[in-house]
Amino acid sequence: MQSRKIGVLLGGLSSEREVSLRTGEAVLNALRERGHDAIPVYVDHDIDVALRQEQIDVAFIALHGRWGEDGCIQGLLELLGIPYTGSDVMASALAMHKGKAKELFRLNNLPTPAYYTLTAEDAADLVAVHGDFGFPCVVKPIREGSSVGVTICHSLADLAPAVEKALCFDDELLVERFIVGKEVSVAILGDRALGACEIAPRAGFYDYQNKYTKGATDYFVPPRLSPERYRGVLAQALRAHLALGCNGASRVDMMVSESGNEFILEVNTVPGLTPTSLLPKIADAAGISFGELCELMLAGATLSTRRGRNERRVVQRPYVEDERREAEANTH
Ligand SMILES: Nc1ncnc2c1ncn2[C@@H]1O[C@H](COP(=O)(O)OP(=O)(O)O)[C@@H](O)[C@H]1O
Ligand SMILES: [Mg+2]
């Protein structure tokens, strides 16, 4: 186990590159401290060449956002036969696309705020498109992270600038009902909810600034909820992780409303992993140190095509047999 060469994939091409560098460096240090042969693999357009040259045995994905968290890098690793941490191609793509993820939450009877989607063409007639959806609402790019391009709108006057800003990051947007209540993020590891953290920004909402500025946000682990409510939140989050087919570690962002309902905002398949990030905070409260957390994530590294090949063999046999029988019947 210790002799495997681990590549920590960091950097990347998304708007969350800086966060990824911090996540990757923290993971690299933790794995090396625990005696692993781990090297950094900086991700850019030449990542295929870098992966072939470095000859790593396993990839620890420390990439956030587009191309790193959305199934792209996972697909490349599948092609190269390199096992990797976290969710597979499909679950990564679904979780990254907030619209598709919400469709799946609804199909699985999981509560998520009311919403509609919007493209650049729709932006020409926002009043008609928004209709009686109401305010406040939240405008966000459909495939971003770290609150990049997210705006809370209180009136029609806020809508056009919010849409314009979000369109800088994606050509499809989500307009969602604003939920008043506590923000709670749940840590999932290996199909188990480890615990949760309540997020209370001192001013405004949990935007990029409040996420990454020291002292700007207060965190409560566990959240200030009744034990019964807390159990319900953990169960919903785990169901959201499973509904998208996620694997390994993920972090489920939720709003717990004042009226007593929970709403799932999104599932993050590559949660931040700096020692001050939410997942490590929650893991720590559950008795799992940062080093152990990295170790557990690494232990879950896999290739979905390996599993898929065995499964396909099982389902293909009766299918081929049926076809043969059908062909025989037709010739008689
Ligand atoms: N429907 C909502 N109601 C209230 N706050 C929201 C809502 N959607 C997003 N937010 C706020 O915006 C932040 C970022 O939104 P989120 O959907 O988690 O996207 P990201 O992928 O950028 O983290 C959340 O952490 C929360 O503070
Ligand atoms: Mg979020």
Residue 168 Cα to ligand 2 middle (Å) = 18
Look at ligand 1, atom 26, and give the residue with the nearest C-alpha: 206
Contacts of 22 (CB under 8 A, 6+ apart): 272, 274
20, 247, 268, 277: the catalytic one is 268
Per residue, the 3-state secondary structure of the chain, as one string, reads: CCCCEEEEEEECCCCCHHHHHHHHHHHHHHHHHCCCEEEEEEECCCHHHHHHHHCCCEEEECCCCCCCCCCHHHHHHHHHCCCECCCCHHHHHHHHCHHHHHHHHHHCCCCCCCEEEEECCHHHHHHHHHCCCCCCEEEEECCCCCCCCCEEECCHHHHHHHHHHHHCCCCEEEEEECCCEEEEEEEEECCCEEEEEEEEECCCCCCHHHHHCCCCEEEECCCCCCHHHHHHHHHHHHHHHHHCCCCCEEEEEEEEECCCCEEEEEEECCCCCCCCCHHHHHHHHCCCCHHHHHHHHHHCCECHHHHHHHHHHHHHHHHHHHHHHHHHHHHC
> Cα(185)–Cα(53) distance, rounded to whole angstroms?
38
> Cα(245)–Cα(201) distance, rounded to whole angstroms?
31
User: Which segments in the chain show pLDDT lower than 50?
Assistant: 1, 308-323
Active site residue 155: no
Ligand 1: residues whose CB is within 6 Å? 113, 138, 140, 144-148, 150, 176-179, 183, 205-206, 253, 255, 265-266
84, 206, 212, 230: the catalytic one is 212
> Cα(109)–Cα(67) distance, rounded to whole angstroms?
29
How many CB atoms sit inside 10 A of residue 8's CB?
A: 29
Domains belonging to the chain, first-starting first, are 5-85 (3.40.50.20), 114-177 (3.30.1490.20)
- In the chain, the amino acid numbered 116 is Y
Model pTM greater than 0.85?
Answer: yes
> Cα(116)–Cα(304) distance, rounded to whole angstroms?
33
Look at ligand 1, atom 25, and give the residue with the nearest C-alpha: 206
Q: What is the pLDDT of residue 63?
A: 98
Q: What is the pLDDT of residue 316?
A: 35
Atom of ligand 1 nearest to the CA of 146: 22
Q: What is the pLDDT of residue 326?
A: 55
> Of 138, 137, 119, which Cα lies nearest the Cα of 129?
119
Active site residue 16: yes
> Of 102, 182, 174, which Cα lies nearest the Cα of 143?
174
Active site residue 266: yes
Q: Which residues surround ligand 2, an ion (CB under 5 A)?
A: 253
Tokens at residue 71, please?
């199934």
Active site residue 146: yes
